[in-house]
């Protein structure tokens, strides 16, 4: 891929019936997706295992490798089963029962799967059902029964999701299903786990401990979906490896007009803390059925790219949508157009904690002064590319070489970083030459281009020092 087509913003797509065939997967991988997401809210283990292996087989076939992300469903509050859907009306009373009980005459009663519902939901609070389509107000609350008045009606069917804006709920970080899903993901060596409805740092630690017990090196992406997650954002960012701005449920939990501000706050906070951030949900919702997006959706993608979010994500667009390839191609075009319009610069507000951080900043400035030169960095942990990525340097391609497969796949989420998996030689100079030759061979650079190489050098008395080299491509 020529440097002129270098894309900074990564693309995550969700696998589903529309994209599960080998032919569809090959088209998406060749088109440039970076991460494949499995939504375990809608996937069984047999299908998931087969599809993970299919994705990797298609990667081997195409010679382009992408990472695997398993999105675990998390515990959630839902209504129970109904014999048939019910049309609610404005002003109607409805009882929500934390445990099955006798319904009162002329009042609809529906069970909920949260035993603390009657204790946690105060009178006057809002209950949102089915992605906010149904709006209820609590008029009375008891341990065995919460009576609500319908404010905004719609059709209520079985097992609809419930949101409780502003209510601190007592749910575990992982359900029994999540434990089983994580075990499958560890067995299949997925690269990322996304944890739903993260409310506090302790939720992340629960999954972190579980992965440690299973000797998994997978990274944890915390999904921010409610007001508790927003209130504890800083500590969650500190505990997680990455953040997902999950705008679906979050847009139900907070006032709509606050959502853009919260998205910007989360993206900015993640960059300053050197944690990748994904903007997700409804980016191209209309293209589930339409071959062209709305103009507002194009602007939404552009806004995420301008904010320098690490990745943008497709959900229903690529699971059941009619135009999954077109969605990916459009994301690439919009990202490329916006990125190409940006002038040279970098994130000068990033806190530089160490002298090595300052060296990396110097490498960025040197590469930009040389005139769109790239930076070559070698890593086994991914820490140096994470800092280079957080510096958000425009017109400064970051080529990160590693000999650790897991690190290679984890770096696929980093803004502006193009990772490569390559064996390292015992002699650093040979490794540098191999990297430069690789970039030329694959068309990333050409003879005469300048590269800034970040490496270690052996000084007197066998002391290893960090060094920046300025080298032309031969």
pLDDT tens, residue by residue, 349-379: 999 999 999 999 999 999 999 987 999 999 9
Q: Which of 9, 281, 308, 407 is catalytic?
A: 281
pTM, full prediction: 0.94
Closest CA to 159 of 104, 113, 216, 213: 113
Task: Compute the distance between CA of residue 271 and CA of residue 279 in angstroms, rounded to an integer.
Answer: 13
pLDDT on residue 239: 98
| Three-state secondary-structure class, residue 74 | coil
The string of DSSP letters for 270-303 reads HHHTT--EEEESSTTGGGGT-SS--HHHHHHHHH
Output the pLDDT for position 46: 98
Alpha-helix residue ranges (DSSP H) falling in 194-255: 201-213, 227-231, 233-239, 247-253
- From 27, 37, 247, 361, the catalytic residue: 37
Give the pLDDT of residue 459. 54
Determine the Cα–Cα distance for residues 441 and 15; give it in Å rounded to an integer: 32
- Give the pLDDT of residue 442: 92
73 given a catalytic annotation:
no
Instruction: Give the model confidence (pLDDT) of 298-320 as tens digits.
Output: 999 999 999 999 999 999 999 99
Contacts of residue 310, Cβ cutoff 8 Å, sequence gap at least 6: 9, 10, 242, 270, 276, 277, 278, 389, 413, 414, 415
| Per-residue confidence (pLDDT) for residue 4, from 0 to 100 | 47
Which residue is catalytic, options 223, 274, 361, 395? 223
For residue 78, indicate whether it is catalytic: yes
Q: How many CA atoms lie within 13 A of 381 on its CB side?
A: 4
129 close to 161: Cβ distance less than 8 angstroms: yes
Give me the domains of the chain, ranges plus CATH numbers: 3-74+173-339 (3.20.20.60), 86-163 (2.40.33.10), 355-472 (3.40.1380.20)
Indicate the Cα dihedral angle 148, 151, 154, 156, nearest 10°: -10
Q: Exactly one of 54, 64, 78, 177 is catalytic; which is it?
A: 78
The H-assigned helical ranges of 254-400 are: 259-272, 295-306, 316-319, 324-341, 355-370, 383-390
Given this model, what pLDDT does residue 44 score?
96
Is 223 designated active site? yes
Q: What is the pLDDT of residue 1?
A: 35
Q: With the CA atoms of 440, 443, 446 and 447 taken in that order, what torsion angle do they form, in degrees rounded to the nearest 10?
A: 30
* Residue 79 is among the residues annotated as catalytic for this protein: no
Low-confidence ranges of the chain (pLDDT < 70): 1-5, 102-103, 457-462
| Residue reference for tokens 């993260």 | 198
């Amino acid at each position: 891929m020529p440097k002129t087509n270098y894309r900074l913003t990564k693309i995550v797509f969700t696998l589903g019936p529309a994209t599960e065939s080998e032919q569809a997967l090959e088209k998406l991988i060749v088109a440039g997706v970076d991460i494949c997401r499995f939504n375990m809210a809608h996937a069984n283990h047999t299908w998931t295992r087969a599809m993970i292996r299919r994705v990797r087989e298609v990667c081997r076939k195409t010679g382009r490798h992408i990472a695997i992300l398993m999105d675990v469903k998390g515990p959630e509050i839902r209504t129970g089963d109904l014999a048939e859907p019910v049309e609610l009306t404005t002003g109607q009373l409805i009882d929500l029962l934390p445990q099955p009980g006798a319904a009162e005459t002329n009042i609809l009663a529906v069970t909920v799967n949260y035993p603390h519902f009657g204790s946690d939901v105060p009178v006057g609070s809002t209950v949102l059902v089915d992605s906010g389509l149904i709006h209820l107000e609590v008029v009375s609350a008891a341990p065995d029964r919460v009576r609500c008045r319908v404010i905004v009606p719609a059709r209520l069917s079985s097992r609809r999701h419930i949101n409780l804006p502003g209510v601190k709920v007592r749910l575990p970080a992982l359900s029994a299903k999540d434990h089983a899903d994580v075990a499958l993901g560890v067995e299949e060596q997925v690269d990322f786990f996304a944890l739903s409805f993260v409310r506090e740092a302790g939720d992340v630690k629960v999954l972190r401990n579980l992965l440690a017990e299973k000797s998994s090196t997978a990274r944890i992406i915390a999904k921010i979906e409610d007001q508790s997650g927003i209130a504890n954002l800083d500590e969650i960012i500190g505990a997680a490896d990455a953040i997902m701005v999950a705008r679906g449920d979050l847009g139900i939990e907070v006032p709509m007009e606050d959502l853009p501000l919260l998205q910007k706050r989360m993206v900015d906070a993640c960059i300053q803390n050197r944690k990748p951030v994904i903007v997700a949900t409804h980016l191209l919702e209309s293209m589930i059925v339409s071959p062209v997006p709305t103009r507002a959706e194009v602007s939404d993608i552009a806004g995420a790219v301008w904010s320098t979010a690490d990745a943008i994500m497709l959900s229903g667009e690529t699971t059941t949508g009619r135009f999954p390839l077109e969605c990916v191609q459009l994301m690439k075009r919009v990202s490329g157009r916006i990125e190409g319009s940006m002038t040279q610069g970098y994130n000068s507000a990033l806190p530089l904690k160490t002298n090595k951080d300052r060296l990396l900043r110097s490498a960025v400035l040197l590469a930009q002064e040389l005139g769109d030169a790239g930076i070559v960095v070698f890593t086994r942990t991914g820490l140096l590319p994470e800092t280079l990525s957080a510096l958000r340097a425009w017109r400064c391609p970051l080529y990160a070489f590693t000999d650790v497969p897991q690190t290679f796949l984890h770096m696929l989420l980093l803004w502006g970083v193009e990772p490569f998996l390559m064996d390292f030689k015992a002699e650093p100079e040979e490794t540098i030459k191999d990297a430069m030759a690789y970039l030329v061979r694959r068309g990333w650079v050409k003879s005469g281009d300048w590269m800034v190489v970040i490496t270690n050098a052996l000084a007197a008395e066998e002391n290893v020092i960090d060094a920046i080299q300025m080298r032309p491509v031969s």
